């Protein structure tokens, strides 16, 4: 129920067909400070949203419109739930509209068009956009996000990876070159497109690594941790595909630069995250189902005295903290709302 | 966030360790008109609730107490999330307390102690309880539930089965003896207890029927449909175990007593459910994931002219519409609140 | 290891890319009386078979050839592992070659081109083929299969359904119009093609009915049971999609024409299947995992005295007894080999 | 079919109830050189084996006997499929019988009773056994296994881990302290016992790490790689639980001591494994389903020039190459049979 005594902001979701679009809709339908004024789709223009996502039947049956309708609609917030390489054109076109834009693609996450072109292997059509884009990880960049007009919503793996290691990098306690991030993601990370990778029989009862040494999220993680530690970070990142719908679990390994023990490690994490309400520091390793359907990131740092190494496990719901709820969190900051507005979902388990 | 301008009712959840207990807690934490004053557990007294259900870490860490603490606590509502055979003793003991009781077990769902003893194969310790117990299916019994002090919350299979067939039985259009209900449930229906049935390797990649011709929910369905049609109903009910966490799908077959076609069938269902906001009539067969995590029951009735038979598919989340959210719906009715209060969760898919 | 003292028959698999093709290969590589001389693919000509199915790496790396190569290769047996509508053209073209043909598609399973055109909604290009085609269900038609040159390998649902009910139909004990077959299949039944239906996130943690009242296998089952009982059979058939790779479970319901009890029912089944080595009569309901990876069909008939109805549960591996191993069984019969040659795989469980 | 022109060895399986026992039976039923003379169980004495494992119904219905029956039965081979801590007593008692013993527990895998007591946290009742026990990893120790009377069958994680890294350790090319092994196992690795860990709802759609820094398999891996490299190895090992039945995937990370490139790395692996028929070197990362139901270990070594690190992915079926088929492989060596006898199963996929 909307509270009519508050201003209601008008939001547009561009790109209705994917998982990110439907999760944004799920969160925004019940968000007390916004109204979904428009959801766009070029392929499905004219169909009810619930035709594409039948879970919304009777809840959100609004007709999908072409993205061209956005231009005359004066939205307050535009969410771009589009593939990378497509988003950039809309940012270029719509920046003058004055709406705040939250881009869920990878188009403005990196530091420069050159880095983008190197890792995404395609030209960037709107290099000017990098100037204003803020990396939308609220736990690190809340102040900048509040003033931003263009937020680049982080990737799912980077969210889990950066949050796992930030307390140590922020204090410069990581040995150069020592970091290995072994990451595992549910299948929705591969998107809604039907292909061999997403065929049930290739995923179910299976598990595999992919993009060893070459995944695009590697550089996104490295850049953010470099900024945080004011040192160039190079690290190992290996993604794997889990036979589940949702969830990312990151197991991060690092050697440290000073004497360490469990107590000291815990203190570093508690201090860093003390006022971050969506970070839950856990004493035993969390499972991905502990955060499913929620905006939480659960983190468990462990000191292994035998090997003199830190192991950090972090889990998120890749569609939420790794995408849609992070976008809403960013929106809350950009609109000056309380950070947690509309984000109080308790994990759905089992 | 609770609205302080409304009265806040005090609720107790008796039985913290199971799935029903944790789902009740998930719904009630955000319910705007109630406050969880107490959660009980005999086995885990003294532990935080979130120790048993780590998804609640930082959200609901309240200490579990012994059920004996209920007696002096003056709750408004008591939810009994206990196994059948145990609940009856608490009902007997606590009816005098004056709190409204919602019993999620099977102890008061049937018409008499004799029927209970016949199908549950054990004595009933509180036969007097049947006199006041109301069968808590809001779509059929809302008026009685509003005035009830003791509600027997329906079984999961009966909820999906009765809702699938009620429009036809209410109009007495079903041929005697013709009904076959082929039902399939996710594993959480078997409970949280670890045994051979719930071992991952017996469930995963498997599927089987069980309790053919003898499942206790059979008589619960028969009794309710008998009452509705004012005719004694005998029907075939076969449950199966699905390798998923949540969800019941019922495929019900029936021959009818008059000429039928799809249009006429649709009209019967639309009229019967026209003002029921949690029933969604679907044109194509729904999947269990379309309602996961929500209070919806999606129903799709089909007329097969070739075989002259009605086939109705219905789906619910067994832990919600089949247990916890149905209990909250009943509570809303008993407290005179709007029926949908706290029940607006959109299905979590994928 | 092949036994060199026996004749080795030369077999061709036409259609390498699907699940049926790969399962045929898996069985035939170790079949002691045959040699795979050729596997064809038009899309993947020139690639090693193991490129498409990496589980065969180092085991079956033979290069895929175009189907046109079959004509000069003098095979003894041709397996057509092609979609329906395509197979018929190959049968037309290759019947003169003199090889025995086992067609795993639906093109020659029905009684006439007219019935085919009615249920498959397309013209049949080789109506003459029906004259010689034998329905390849060894438990019913072994004698005819032995002499056949063209075998139509049964559908997966029909195999499980017909075997569940044959003992009763063969003795004409089923009440006309009373049969309901509620069938559930693993996802591989939907094929290897990537589309919305086979996308992991639509299958995983989901379950739904489809093609209610209209699935093509309905008529296949009806025709075979009609032949068996020498009475026209019309029945209800409803397929559902299970979130597992392999396995079909059929729950069949029927009223009977004479007094019945469990002992009598058991006797009927034992007599009918007494010398059928791949039928296992079970006292408690089997799960699909009890037969996974094997040629078995496990059947459990139950008499429900309360409802006066027979309930029969049957399970098969849809890719094996429902496709590839059934084809090999047919081949064994056609070549005069022992029926069980190469088919002794023990179910893989868990 | 057994070949009667060869000697048939008599084998006993001690411990019928677990997954290892049933998989041993599955392999040995069709092994051409052996006969299962006895399967023991104390809990289920007198029941048919197929009562515990219904997939064997009609295939292996032999009655289970007490282990005490072994003593007078003169077996050639005894497989101990028992929990660690129990096996040692049987080894002590039965070594004098003269049968060759293959112990699938962890009781004799380590170098000494002291190391055992340190990592398994219990006393060892038969320290003398260590003297004769050979570590049964055929790819490394075939010659010793041939002469052994007591083989300690390796753990599942160690098998996948050691095979992933042996080529580099054998040439001493690994930088001291640089190895991180991030391992993921299917649920059957946790055993057949019903408890919270193996409850479907804790595993399904979930994924978590456990025993960080303290898993017993760590020292088993370290000891074998130490022996191989003639240097004391300390490494990081982190196990995770996958929501699948079978399969282990190991992602191993290491820095090397000399200049490296992909070609050089491939050469090292090809040379080391050139005559090992169950090792398949893969060019792209394998999934666990590529080896399910088979004795293969698929390995893919990758050189990451950017980070100057080797990443090796290996996959096995934990119940086969990680347990039962490895035991049969050891038996073949001990009996002087061809190594691959009875082990030609092609992976079951999908």
- pLDDT tens per residue, range C64-110: 999 999 999 999 999 999 999 999 999 999 999 999 999 999 999 99
Q: CA C227, CA A87: separation in Å to the nearest integer?
A: 62
Superfamily of domain D157-316 in CATH is: Dihydrodipicolinate Reductase; domain 2 (3.30.360.10)
Q: No. of H helices and E strands in chain A?
A: 11, 13
The predicted structure's pLDDT at residue C7: 80
Contact B55 A19 (CB under 8 A): no
CB-nearest to C210 from B209, B240, B285 is B285
Q: CB of C20 within 8 A of CB of C85?
A: no
Residue from C190, C191, C201 whose CB has the most chain A CBs within 10 Å, to mutate: C201
Which of A13, A60, A148, A156 is the catalytic position?
Answer: A156
Q: Kindly state whether D347 is in contact with chain A, defined as any CB-CB distance less than 8 angstroms.
A: no
CB atoms within 10 A of CB C327: 27
C&D contacts, CB < 8 Å: 67
The set of catalytic residues of C is 156
Q: CA B47, CA A167: separation in Å to the nearest integer?
A: 30
Contact A201 C245 (CB under 8 A): yes
> Where does the pLDDT of residue D7 fall: very low under 50, low under 70, confident under 90, or very high at 90 and above?
confident
Q: Is the pLDDT of residue D6 over 80?
A: no
Contact A246 B298 (CB under 8 A): no
Which of B81, B156, B168, B174 is the catalytic position?
Answer: B156
pLDDT digits (tens, 9 = 90+) for A87-113: 999 999 999 999 999 999 999 999 999
Q: CA C151, CA C156: separation in Å to the nearest integer?
A: 15
Work out the mean pLDDT of chain A and round it to a whole number: 97
Strand partners, C40: C14, C65
CB atoms within 10 A of CB B66: 11
> Where does the pLDDT of residue A322 fall: very low under 50, low under 70, confident under 90, or very high at 90 and above?
very high
Q: Kindly state whether A201 is in contact with chain D, defined as any CB-CB distance less than 8 angstroms.
A: yes
The predicted structure's pLDDT at residue C113: 97
The predicted structure's pLDDT at residue B202: 98
CB-nearest to C236 from B209, B210, B304 is B304
pLDDT digits (tens, 9 = 90+) for B34-53: 999 999 999 999 999 999 99
**Angle subtended by helix axes B113-120 and B217-229, to nearest 10:** 150
User: Touching B: which chains, 3+ CB pairs < 8 A?
Assistant: A, C, D
The predicted structure's pLDDT at residue C271: 98
CB-nearest to C204 from A194, A196, A245 is A245
The predicted structure's pLDDT at residue A12: 98
Q: CA A83, CA A81: separation in Å to the nearest integer?
A: 7
Residue from A196, A201, A240 whose CB has the most chain D CBs within 10 Å, to mutate: A240
Chain B residues within an 8 Å CB radius of D201: 19, 187-188, 192, 198, 245
Q: CB of C33 within 8 A of CB of C6?
A: yes
How far A66 CA lies from chain C's nearest CA (Å)? 23
pLDDT digits (tens, 9 = 90+) for A277-321: 999 999 999 999 999 999 999 999 999 999 999 999 999 999 999
Q: Is the pLDDT of residue C4 over 60?
A: no
Work out the mean pLDDT of chain C and round it to a whole number: 97
Superfamily of domain B9-153+323-335 in CATH is: NAD(P)-binding Rossmann-like Domain (3.40.50.720)
ipTM: 0.97
The predicted structure's pLDDT at residue B4: 54
> Where does the pLDDT of residue A7 fall: very low under 50, low under 70, confident under 90, or very high at 90 and above?
confident
Instruction: Supply the DSSP symbol for D46.
Output: T
Q: CB of C124 within 8 A of CB of C149?
A: no
**How far from D5 is each of C249, D33, D329, CA to CA, in Å?**
42, 10, 22
User: Touching C: which chains, 3+ CB pairs < 8 A?
Assistant: A, B, D
The predicted structure's pLDDT at residue B5: 61
Contact B346 A293 (CB under 8 A): no
Q: Could you tell me where in chain C the CATH 3.40.50.720 domains are found?
A: 9-153+323-334
pLDDT over 90, % of chain D: 98
Length of chain D: 350
pLDDT, mean of residues C272-278: 97
pLDDT over 70, % of chain A: 98
Q: Kindly state whether A196 is in contact with chain D, defined as any CB-CB distance less than 8 angstroms.
A: no
Q: Could you tell me where in chain D the CATH 3.30.360.10 domains are found?
A: 157-316
The predicted structure's pLDDT at residue D1: 45
pLDDT, mean of residues D155-167: 98
**How far from A262 is each of A173, A250, A344, B121, CA to CA, in Å?**
14, 19, 31, 54
CB-nearest to C204 from A194, A195, A200 is A200
Chain B residues within an 8 Å CB radius of C210: 285
CB-nearest to A349 from B30, B55, B289 is B55
The predicted structure's pLDDT at residue B7: 80
How far B160 CA lies from chain A's nearest CA (Å)? 17
How far B200 CA lies from chain D's nearest CA (Å)? 4
| Closest C-chain CA to B305 | C213
pLDDT digits (tens, 9 = 90+) for B268-288: 999 999 999 999 999 999 999
A49-81 burial: b if 16+ Cβ within 10 Å, else e: bbebbbbbbebbeeebbebeebeeeebbbbbbb
> Where does the pLDDT of residue A5 fall: very low under 50, low under 70, confident under 90, or very high at 90 and above?
low
Q: State which fold the D9-153+323-334 domain adopts.
A: Rossmann fold (3.40.50)
Q: Is C336 exposed, middle or buried (0-12, 13-18, 19+ CB in 10 A)?
A: exposed
Residue from A197, A212, A305 whose CB has the most chain D CBs within 10 Å, to mutate: A212
The predicted structure's pLDDT at residue C159: 98
The predicted structure's pLDDT at residue B1: 45
Q: Kindly state whether D29 is in contact with chain C, defined as any CB-CB distance less than 8 angstroms.
A: yes
The predicted structure's pLDDT at residue C6: 67
Could you identify the residue written with the tokens 């077999």?
C11
Q: Is the pLDDT of residue B108 over 60?
A: yes
pTM over 0.90: yes
User: Touching D: which chains, 3+ CB pairs < 8 A?
Assistant: A, B, C
> Which A residues, 56 through 75, put their C-beta within 8 Å of a C-beta on chain B?
56-59
Strand partners, B334: none
Reply yes or no on whether B156 is catalytic. Answer: yes
What element of type H or E holds B141?
helix B138-146
Contact B59 A350 (CB under 8 A): no
**Angle subtended by helix axes A138-146 and A324-334, to nearest 10:** 40
How far A236 CA lies from chain D's nearest CA (Å)? 7
Residue from B199, B202, B243 whose CB has the most chain D CBs within 10 Å, to mutate: B199
Structure token digits, residue A283: 């004493």
How far D23 CA lies from chain C's nearest CA (Å)? 8
pLDDT, mean of residues A202-218: 98
CB-nearest to D198 from B200, B205, B245 is B200
Length of chain C: 350
Q: Could you tell me where in chain B the CATH 3.40.50.720 domains are found?
A: 9-153+323-335
The predicted structure's pLDDT at residue B6: 67
Give one DSSP letter per residue of A322-350, joined into a string: TTHHHHHHHHHHHTT--TTTT--PPP---
Contact B199 D194 (CB under 8 A): yes
Phi/psi for B159 (5° steps) reads: -55, -50
Q: Kindly state whether B350 is in contact with chain C, defined as any CB-CB distance less than 8 angstroms.
A: yes
């Amino acid at each position: 129920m909307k509270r009519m005594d508050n201003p209601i902001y008008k939001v547009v979701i561009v790109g209705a067909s994917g998982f990110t679009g439907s999760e944004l809709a799920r969160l925004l339908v019940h968000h007390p400070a916004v109204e979904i004024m428009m959801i766009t789709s070029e392929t499905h223009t004219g169909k009810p949203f619930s035709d594409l996502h039948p879970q919304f039947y009777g809840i959100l049956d609004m007709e999908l419109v072409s993205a061209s309708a956005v231009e005359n609609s004066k939205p307050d917030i535009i969410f771009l739930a589009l593939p990378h390489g497509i988003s950039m054109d809309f940012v270029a076109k719509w920046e003058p509209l004055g709406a705040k834009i939250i881009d869920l693609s990878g188009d403005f996450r990196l530091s420069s068009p050159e880095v983008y072109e190197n890792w995404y292997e395609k030209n960037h059509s709107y290099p000017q956009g990098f100037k204003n884009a803020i990396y939308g990880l609220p736990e690190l960049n809340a102040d900048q996000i509040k003033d931003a007009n263009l937020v680049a919503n982080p990737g799912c793996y980077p969210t889990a990876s950066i949050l796992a290691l930030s307390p140590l990098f922020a204090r410069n306690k990581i040995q150069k070159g020592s970091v290995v991030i072994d990451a595992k993601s549910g299948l929705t990370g591969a998107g809604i497109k039907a292909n061999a990778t997403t065929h049930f029989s290739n995923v179910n009862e299976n598990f595999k690594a992919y993009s060893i040494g070459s995944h695009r999220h590697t550089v996104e993680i490295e850049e953010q941790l470099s900024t945080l530690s004011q040192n160039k970070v190079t690290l190992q990142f290996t993604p794997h595909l889990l036979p589940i719908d949702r969830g990312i679990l990151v197991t991060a390994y690092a050697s440290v630069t000073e004497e360490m023990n469990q107590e000291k490690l815990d203190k570093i994490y508690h201090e860093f995250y003390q006022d971050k309400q969506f970070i839950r520091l856990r004493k035993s390793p969390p499972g991905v189902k502990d955060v499913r359907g929620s905006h939480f990131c659960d983190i468990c740092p462990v000191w292994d005295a035998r090997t003199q190494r830190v192991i950090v496990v972090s889990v998120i719901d890749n569609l939420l903290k790794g995408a849609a709820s992070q976008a809403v969190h960013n929106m809350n900051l950009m609109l000056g709302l309380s950070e947690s507005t509309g984000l109080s979902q308790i994990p759905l388990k089992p």
